[in-house]
Structure 1
Amino acid sequence: MHGDRTNRTVLLVLAALMVAAGGLGGAASFGAFGLEVQRRALTDNVVADYIDRNSSWFWPVVAGVALILVLLCLRWLLVILFSTDRAGDLLITSKGPGRTALRPGAVTRAVTEEIESYPGVSSAGARIVGDPDAAELVVNATVEDSSDLASVRRRIETEALAGARAALDDPHLPIRLDLTVTTDRAARVS
């Protein structure tokens, strides 16, 4: 389970509960649940009376629900802190016996260093995400506004990204290229 997906789901459920509570309160104020509920003061202590009448089973149920909520929140926190969408070692297909595994960091480092060496590129970053069997290369490059964006993009695609596909022996490797334009100039060392 991925942290972003979990966050969206939990927040959507909480939002739906809050909207429902607000809708029920509004409906009660307009008399949808009868005149007795409509005329009742908000500070009437109906809840305390109910709890007092049913205290033998009510508090153990509250404790159980609270424990479940604590465990769900703890799981949510752990997913957020320790989940990752990064791929594990990538297996290179070969026609002979044996297998070759390539660490994603080696590929991303090579792609990043190559792209950063291109004129007009201020900085770059790459990562491989997804399952090792269905990985995707995500590349971010910051390009100087004075450079020819189309030629930099073409060079990245035809050299660095084509090289990554060749290294992984996957001509159909999905790649997402995000280019950002900046006014900052890259410091070049000759």
Structure 2
Amino acid sequence: MTSLNRPAGLNRAVLVLVGLALIAVGAFTLLTHFGTLTVLKPESALVPGTGQPPTWALYVITAGAVVLGLLVLRWLVAQLTRKPKTYTWRFETDPDLGRTELAASTAIEPFTTEVTSYHGVHAAHATLAGTRDTPAVALVISAEQDADVSEIRRRIDTDGLPRLRQALDLDTLSVTIEFRFSTKTGARAL
């Protein structure tokens, strides 16, 4: 699990807990229904009394179910957002003479370090995805609150990316950049 995918551990833990709770409730219901568990009688009422609840209670339950359903749907959509798949790049012109392999994480590390050193950048995480024929960089930058985002973007376009393309011997390299703002601010002159 990478730092770009921080919620993954929490998501898995919540899924395990919800799954275990649903299995336990389902097993309890089935065992009670078929008489294996005698904690409750199968023919007993679920709640005391036989009257209908007030109309407002039904509306509140319906609204709560809709809100819960929308939250679950939002959570499911968030699960689809993933980092691009990385590959090991192979540089070989003559297979008889051997080959050179370069892990994408190793290739992108100097670029990430350089971007982190830019003024106003608190942290940067980059993923070099795709193959050597169709490379792509996904860059997530945590900028300080008072950072000049356009200046950071200009430095990436004029300094960082040309060096990365040159180091990887690429003519073109598609890049997506996501800026997030940190709660930290830069040094201020008094």
Q: Which has the higher helix share?
A: 1
TM-score normalised by structure 1 residue count: 0.46
For the pair shown, the structure with the greater C-alpha radius of gyration is 1
Highest relative contact order (Cα 8 Å, sep 6+), 1 or 2? Answer: 1
